[in-house]
Structures are given as C-alpha cells and as structure tokens.
C-alpha cells in the first residue's frame, strides 16, 4: 500500500472538486493527531479527515462524524480562532511531495482580509499538521518538533516553515528527459529503486508499475539497461505524468485471497492481464476517498478477524496434531496385525496334521492346503502339536480383536482429522465476527471447546452463505462453516439443485440453484470453481470436484456437522479462479 505523491495528487484533485470555495463550518480534533474539518459548500456539506498518525497518516473525505473531546486541545482552539468560517480558496500539493496545502481566506480581529494555510505532511513518523501564516511562519502545529528531535527543521510557533529536502529528489512533474536519463539510468541499483529514489512522490509500487507497463524486469540494474529498455521506461513515465497533469486518475484496490493488499490512484498492470492470478481481485473506484475508507476499514476487519481467530485456530491445530500422532501410532499397530492370518493357518494345519508332528520338534513342514505350497511352522518343543495349534489360535484371536478395534479407532480418528481440517478451512473463509462466533458455537456443540454455560449467541448471529451469480444468471450459494453447509444442503437446496464439493478434502458445500431450468456447462464449471476456491485445495493448480443432484446427497445418523455421503456422482477438474463471478449481498 502506497500513500504516495500520486495518491495525494488524486486527493488534492478531489478536494478541489468538492470543498474548494467552501467555508470551514466546524473544526474538531477527535484524536491527539487527527483533525476533522466540516466544510459547507453550495453543493452540500463535507467532512475532511486529516491524520498525522505516525503509523497511518491519511487524508480523505468521510461521511461519518467522530465524537470530539469536551475540552478542545490548544491546536484545535487556535484553528477555530483563526479559521472558523474562513473560505477555502486553494488546495495544492507543493513540489509533488506528500504534502497538502489548504489555503484559507478569513477576516482577522480588525476585519482585514488575510490568508493562512493548513499544511498536512504525510511522512510516516514525521507526519504533522501545521497552521502557517502568509509569511510562512508557523503559528502552531499538532506536533511540536524540537532541535533535539530533528536537526533538519524545528516545528514550533514562530519558526519559519519550509519543506525539507534531505534526499535531493527531483520533481517528476517538471523533470526533463535529459535529467531523467542522467539521474535514473546512472544508478547501479534495481530500476524500481532508481525510480523511487530519484523522483519525489514516487513509491516502490509506482516504480514496479512503470516497469510492468514497459515490460521490463524491475530487478535489472538501471545502469545496465539498453537504449530500447530506457526509452520504453521513459515513455511509460511520460504517459503517467500526462495522466496526472490531465487529472486522469483511476483509483483501484487490489485484494489477494479477498484481503486488501495494495491501492493506487491508477490502474495497476502489475495485477491485471497476464500478471493476474486466480487469487487476485481488483476493484475500481470513482472516488479516492471512498477507496481509502474501504481499503483501511476492510484491512482493519481482516486484522481483527485474524486476531480473534488465532486462539481458536491454535486450539484446533493442537487437537489436530495430537490426532495425527494418534493415527500414526494406530496405523503402526494395525500393520503389526497383518500376521494374524498366518497364525490362523498355522493352527489349522497343526490341528489337521497333529498325528504327523514328532514330539519335541522345533518346526514342522507340510503342504498348505490353501495354496498347495510347502510351509514351515515354528513349534515350541515343550508343547504338543495341539497345544502349539491352540497357542497360534490364541495369537490369531488376539490380533483379530486388535485389528477390529484399531480399524474402528482409525476410522474415528480420520473422521476427526477431516472434521478439524474442515473447521480450519471455515476459519479461513470467515469474513465477519459472526462467522467466527458460529464456528465457535459449532465447536462447543461438538465438544472440542468446553463451555461452562451453554451459549445463546447462535440465535443472535447473522451469517448467511456466500451468494454468487453465474455468467448465465444462475444463483450459486457457498456455505461458510459446517453447520451452514448442512443447512444449505438439507434445508435450503431443492431436490433438483446441483451439489458440488472438492473431492476427498475439506471444503464448502456449493449449491447451484436450477429453478427448473436447464443448466449450461459454463454454470457447472463456475460452481466447480467456487467449490475449488473454498476448499483446502484452493492454492492447487487444479482440483477434482464431485457434483451430483442434491437429492442423492445423504447425511448419516450421528455424523458430525458438514459430513455427508453419496454413492454415485459426476466429476470434473476445476481451477480455483472465480474472478469472473459476481458476488452479491443478500
């Protein structure tokens, strides 16, 4: 994610289109490092959030209001004193830096017209918001920076304001072709690094995007490129700058596995066309502010879901590891019972040929009447032939009982392992806290998580199956956990709907609603793709999918949630690519 100069130029353009000419109606400081400016314009009211948070400095328009403290901080009081009811006359981005300069015209104490600037700098831990007068003197700032904190610039009332340039970067909006070549293609570093180290406001993502559009390997040293590659990179750069100057922005969010990963003010070739994979999804926006709000709210949700699921995942993983060790031990015990049939044959042959066994012998060789081959039977010399036979029958019966008990235990443990793996898959699919709470409720019901009192949360939760529309207009539903899978298959689906599931691996139940219509092949392929995507095999190149008419799917009595059986089915090979499917909110 890059809150770089290009994104800020898009924000500045949006602010000029919305709040320029408006009046500062309210000024609030809901957080110690954040301002919320309410601006009234002829077209309506807007709220502008300016955050100088060290880890997440942001600027965006928002619809929501935040509760301000009863006693306003000093900086907020100063802004109100000087700028309340002031008119925003200009919004600029100096030198293409990560800076927004909001120029406000207002009347001073004597009624004279004067101008001041709200300057917001978005530079990581050095982010700040300042009030500066028309002579570039700092009146105050949301953060004070002393000489001990910074040897480059002090930020205190009465100090001059200036933009620091410690990296000697060049303004990409005015750079000449000659300067571009001399400063970028002379560096002995990767071309991506050379671009963002040279140009103001460019991030590593911007550099990667320029290389992707030019079709050049971004890891190649800048000073080793041939003339053709240099020309391609410059032409792409020039086209990007033209789009910025023409205000031709195309805000976009990139998600990987439905998790927000990147955003930009322009369309990212890095994640489209031949570079796009099944796990990558791109979403375009008309408003950069809406993009920023969505990106960070979705990122926050994902982070919160991940944190809340970590304890549950740890419990399940611990039980799963224990069951896998138990299965390995039981399979070794089962392997030891393979000799039981030999002991049975020894006993039967000794009983049949007891008259021919010489007393005190340590072995006896005879013809095995099961395969007509000679066989040598070890004997205890102190026992008679019949006693040796009984000893072998006793061994056989013991191993038979062990085989039967171990086979049943192995079957039970395998079912437990499959179930626990399906729960982990459900946790991966979860997108809301209600989804996680339903999984937790399921684990309470199945006894994997102990609860002092029976939870009543289930009735209060609101989680529905995922709903997609196929290319041919068919509804496809995907269960997000085992209880939901059961409900989707046995309560929601009709008998002639189609049921899909990844073969022999944990995954969601997928229902393709037919509504009595004939289903085209493409709809089957898309439903299978969903079954592959929402399964343990999601990251495999291809996944085998079983599908069958829903009425043929049965649930055995006493089976765990999500477990079903079917005896005849069709199969197809699917890729977990659902980028062409539309998800709808019910």
CATH value at residue 86? 2.30.310.10
Our separate counts of H helices and E strands in the chain read: 12, 21
Distance in angstroms (rounded) separating the CA atoms of residues 208 and 336: 59
pLDDT of residue 61: 96
In a domain, 152, yes or no: no
In a domain, 540, yes or no: yes
13, 174, 6: which is closest to 92 by C-alpha?
Answer: 13
Distance in angstroms (rounded) separating the CA atoms of residues 383 and 391: 10
73 beta partners = none
pLDDT of residue 452: 52
Distance in angstroms (rounded) separating the CA atoms of residues 254 and 9: 20
Phi-psi region of 96 (alpha: psi -120 to 50; beta: other; left: phi over 0): left
Distance in angstroms (rounded) separating the CA atoms of residues 477 and 489: 10
In a domain, 487, yes or no: yes
**CA 277 to chain CA centroid, nearest Å:** 14
Distance in angstroms (rounded) separating the CA atoms of residues 551 and 493: 9
In a domain, 494, yes or no: yes
pLDDT of residue 276: 61
pLDDT of residue 586: 65
146, 142, 150, 140: which is closest to 52 by C-alpha?
Answer: 142
In a domain, 121, yes or no: yes
In a domain, 164, yes or no: no
SS3 of residue 565 by DSSP: strand
Looking at the fold, whether 459 and 338 belong to one and the same domain comes out as yes
Last residue of a domain, one of 431, 463, 495: 463
pLDDT of residue 16: 97
Looking at the fold, whether 393 and 412 belong to one and the same domain comes out as yes
Looking at the fold, whether 450 and 519 belong to one and the same domain comes out as no
CA distances from 372 to 133, 275, 344 (A): 109, 67, 16
Which residue range is the domain that position 554 belongs to? 464-584
pLDDT of residue 518: 93
Looking at the fold, whether 431 and 480 belong to one and the same domain comes out as no
Burial (0-12, 13-18, 19+ Cβ within 10 Å), 479: buried
Domain count, the chain: 4
CATH value at residue 238? 1.10.8
In a domain, 154, yes or no: no
Looking at the fold, whether 281 and 343 belong to one and the same domain comes out as no
Looking at the fold, whether 471 and 455 belong to one and the same domain comes out as no
Last residue of a domain, one of 413, 440, 463: 463
Looking at the fold, whether 313 and 453 belong to one and the same domain comes out as yes
Looking at the fold, whether 59 and 81 belong to one and the same domain comes out as yes
- The rounded mean pLDDT for the chain is 91
Looking at the fold, whether 59 and 116 belong to one and the same domain comes out as yes
Name every residue whose Cβ is closer than 8 Å to that of residue 460 and which is 6 or more positions away in sequence.
none
In a domain, 161, yes or no: no
Name every residue whose Cβ is closer than 8 Å to that of residue 378 and which is 6 or more positions away in sequence.
362, 363
- In 134-207 the beta strands, taken as DSSP E runs, fall at 138-141
Looking at the fold, whether 446 and 469 belong to one and the same domain comes out as no
pLDDT of residue 166: 62
Last residue of a domain, one of 293, 320, 347: 293
Please list the rounded mean pLDDT of every run of 10 residues in the chain (586 residues).
88 97 96 95 95 92 89 95 95 95 92 94 93 96 92 92 84 95 95 95 94 94 95 96 95 85 91 68 92 88 81 90 93 89 93 91 92 93 93 94 92 91 89 84 85 49 84 94 94 94 94 93 95 91 94 92 92 89 82
Looking at the fold, whether 475 and 532 belong to one and the same domain comes out as yes
pLDDT of residue 520: 94
Distance in angstroms (rounded) separating the CA atoms of residues 358 and 343: 20
Looking at the fold, whether 485 and 523 belong to one and the same domain comes out as yes
Distance in angstroms (rounded) separating the CA atoms of residues 319 and 316: 5
Burial (0-12, 13-18, 19+ Cβ within 10 Å), 121: buried
Distance in angstroms (rounded) separating the CA atoms of residues 368 and 355: 16
């Amino acid at each position: 994610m890059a809150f770089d100069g290009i994104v800020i130029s898009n924000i500045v353009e949006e602010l000029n289109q919305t709040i320029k000419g408006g009046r500062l109606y309210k000024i609030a400081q809901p957080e110690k490092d954040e301002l919320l400016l309410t601006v009234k314009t002829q077209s309506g009211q807007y709220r502008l959030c300016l955050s100088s948070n060290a880890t997440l400095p942001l600027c965006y328009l928002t619809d929501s209001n935040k509760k301000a403290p009863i006693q306003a901080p000093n900086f907020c009081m100063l802004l109100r004193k000087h700028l309340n009811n002031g008119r925003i006359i200009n919004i600029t981005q100096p030198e293409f830096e990560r800076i927004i300069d909001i120029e406000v015209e207002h009347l001073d104490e004597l009624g004279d017209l004067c101008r001041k600037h709200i300057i917001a700098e978005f530079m990581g831990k050095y982010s700040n918001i300042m009030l500066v007068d028309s002579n570039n003197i700092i009146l105050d700032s949301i953060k004070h920076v002393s000489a001990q904190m910074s040897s480059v610039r002090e930020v205190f009332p009465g100090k001059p304001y200036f933009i620091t340039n410690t990296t000697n970067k060049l303004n990409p909006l005015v750079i000449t072709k000659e300067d571009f070549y001399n400063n970028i293609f002379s560096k002995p570093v990767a071309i991506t690094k050379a671009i963002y180290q040279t140009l103001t406001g460019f991030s590593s993502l911007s550099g990667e995007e320029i290389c992707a559009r030019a079709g050049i390997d971004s890891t190649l040293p800048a000073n080793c490129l041939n003339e053709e590659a240099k020309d391609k990179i410059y032409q792409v750069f020039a086209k990007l700058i033209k789009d910025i100057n023409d205000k031709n922005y195309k805000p976009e969010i990139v998600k990987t596995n439905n998790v927000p990963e990147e955003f930009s003010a322009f369309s990212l070739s890095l994640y489209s066309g031949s570079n796009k994979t099944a796990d990558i999804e791109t979403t375009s926006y008309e408003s950069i502010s809406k993009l920023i709000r969505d990106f960070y709210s979705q990122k926050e949700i994902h982070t919160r879901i991940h944190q809340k699921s970590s304890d549950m995942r740890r419990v399940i993983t611990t039980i799963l590891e224990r069951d896998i060790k138990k299965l390995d031990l039981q399979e070794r015990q089962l392997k030891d019972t393979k000799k039981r049939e030999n002991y049975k044959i020894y006993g039967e042959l000794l009983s049949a040929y007891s008259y021919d066994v010489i007393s005190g012998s340590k072995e006896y060789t005879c013809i095995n009447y099961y395969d007509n081959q000679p066989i040598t039977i070890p004997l205890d010399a102190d026992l008679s032939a019949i006693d040796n036979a009984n000893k072998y029958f006793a061994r056989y019966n013991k191993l038979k009982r062990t085989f039967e008990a171990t086979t049943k235990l192995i079957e039970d443990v395998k079912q437990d392992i499959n179930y626990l793996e399906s729960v982990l898959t459900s946790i991966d699919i979860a997108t809301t806290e209600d989804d996680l709470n339903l999984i937790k409720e399921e684990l309470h019901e199945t006894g994997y998580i102990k609860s002092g009192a029976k939870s009543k949360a289930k009735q209060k939760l609101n989680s529905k199956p995922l709903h997609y529309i196929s290319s041919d207009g068919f509804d496809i539903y995907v269960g997000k956990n085992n209880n939901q899978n059961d409900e989707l298959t046995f309560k929601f689906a009709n008998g002639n709907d189609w049921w899909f599931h990844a073969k022999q691996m944990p995954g969601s139940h997928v229902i393709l609603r037919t509504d009595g219509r004939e289903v085209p092949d493409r709809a089957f392929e898309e439903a299978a793709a969903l079954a592959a995507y929402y399964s343990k095999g999601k990251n495999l190149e291809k996944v085998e999918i079983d599908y069958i008419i829903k009425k043929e799917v049965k649930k055995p009595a006493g089976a765990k949630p999500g477990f079903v059986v079917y005896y005849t089915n069709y199969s197809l090979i699917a890729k977990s690519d659902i980028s062409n499917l539309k998800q709808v909110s019910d």
